Amino acid sequence: MTPLLVSSPSLLPDIQLPILGLKGDVKSVAVGKKYATISETKHRSKMSRPDFYFLVDFQSEAVCRVGLVRSEEVDTWERRQKRGWYFSRSTEELYFPSNAEEVQEWLERLRVAKGSAVHRRSQNPLMR
């Protein structure tokens, strides 16, 4: 079990949805910031690469909106460097579902797409 407070970020995914066979990572966008950012090192890690990112975009100290981003989509984001390399995208360009039903439908489509990709790889002898 991972402790609640750690001195450095874990490389393991933050969210495990075993029923759907999906894993996700939680990322936040601070109040007043207009860009979501994701570390390139963690995003590219084979051990921790999530299927999706769960974005918490804080509009104020009391209000936030929740977005969903497929891991493959992050590969298309602008790549920048500060202390290390990271991917960046304006929050205005991201998907923010309006209710829990939309979140469930989005996750189900991702599960089906992931299952199709796994099936295609298992059928290709070069990908085994």
pLDDT in tens, the chain (128 residues): 555 555 556 667 788 888 888 999 999 999 999 999 999 988 888 777 899 999 999 999 999 999 999 999 999 999 999 989 999 999 999 999 999 999 999 999 999 998 866 444 444 444 44
**9 in a structural domain:** no
**91 in a structural domain:** yes
**42 in a structural domain:** yes
- Quick one: which H or E segment has residue 83? none
Query: pTM for this one?
Result: 0.79
**48 in a structural domain:** yes
**Can you give the pLDDT at residue 126?**
44
**Can you give the pLDDT at residue 48?**
75
10 Å Cβ neighbour count for 3? 7
Domain count for the chain, please give it.
1
**6 in a structural domain:** no
30, 58 in Cβ contact below 8 A? yes
**Can you give the pLDDT at residue 119?**
41
**Residue 47's domain spans which residues?**
15-127
**3 in a structural domain:** no
**5 in a structural domain:** no
**Can you give the pLDDT at residue 10?**
66
**86 in a structural domain:** yes
**Can you give the pLDDT at residue 125?**
46
Provide the greatest CA pair distance for the chain.
Answer: 52
